[in-house]
Amino acid sequence: MPKASESGPAGKPAMPRWRQIVDLPGYIESRGSAFLAAVTIIAGQAWLANDLSLRPMWLLPALSALLLIVSLFVFESDVEKPNAAMRWISRAVVVVLAVANMALLGLLVRGIFVKSPLDPFGLLLAGLVLWTVNIAVFALAYWEIDAGGPEDRASSRDTLPDVVFPQQTADQATLAPAEWAPAFADYLYVSLTASTAFSPTDAMPYTRTAKLLMAVESTISFAIVIMLVARAVNIAKG
């Protein structure tokens, strides 16, 4: 596979690594990190579904787990020939996880403002878990949509990025190693900052899709934080 060089033809700066084909081990490591994140999300959502009385409790976690298992069977490690089936199954996993989060958010709202089988501390814990799971879900979403998805990024297709990192800008590219390319951890950081600052920080959404995702995540995160504060105040008042 082609590797990044120090300079291009006629002494011109080399094409940045994120625009070239990445090394295979790095691609598989990023895909593995996303898979582990999905497993963690499913486990967290299953726990929340049980505590918040989502019925049928097993439906959405089981559907997500099934799609995740199917994605393993259609996985291809040859990044120069992206597997369309794997791409769409992976995105289906993200959609199901996002739908499950919305359903759990609705139950959390009902539990806080109407009635819930959980005690006040149980509701507070559920809210914290949901906020954390939400960060992981949107990290997967950014990872799946940016520049057409991990397969397109790995095969250096011409799709422009949806999320632009500082290392991808001309004035800061020299501050990163030539082999730098966004991995799952980078998208997890983007999701964390969107959930805490309620706005982009160093990585900027450039397409409507990325902007919409970040707006939805920030709104959900803000709603959860407000409810957690309200619940904490109620607990403090006794």
The residues, ordered by sequence, that sit 6+ positions from 88 with a Cβ below 8 Å of its Cβ are none
d(CA 104, CA 125): 13
Contact between 194 and 137 under an 8 Å Cβ cutoff? The reply is: no
Delimit the domains of the chain by residue range.
Answer: 16-237
Mean pLDDT calculated for residue range 131-144? 95
Nearest to 75 by CA among 31, 21, 17: 31
pLDDT at 80: 53
| pLDDT higher than threshold 60 for residue 24 | no
First to last CA, the chain: 64
Specify the residue for token string 């082999």.
Answer: 179
Q: What 3-state DSSP class applies to 46?
A: helix
pLDDT (tens digit per residue) in 81-132: 556 777 788 889 999 999 999 999 999 888 888 777 777 788 888 999 999 9
172, containing H or E segment: none
Average pLDDT over residues 127-139: 95
* pLDDT score, position 5: 42
For residues 166-189, average pLDDT = 83
In one-letter notation, the amino acid at residue 108 is L
pLDDT over 70 at 18, yes or no: no
Write down the pTM of the prediction. 0.83
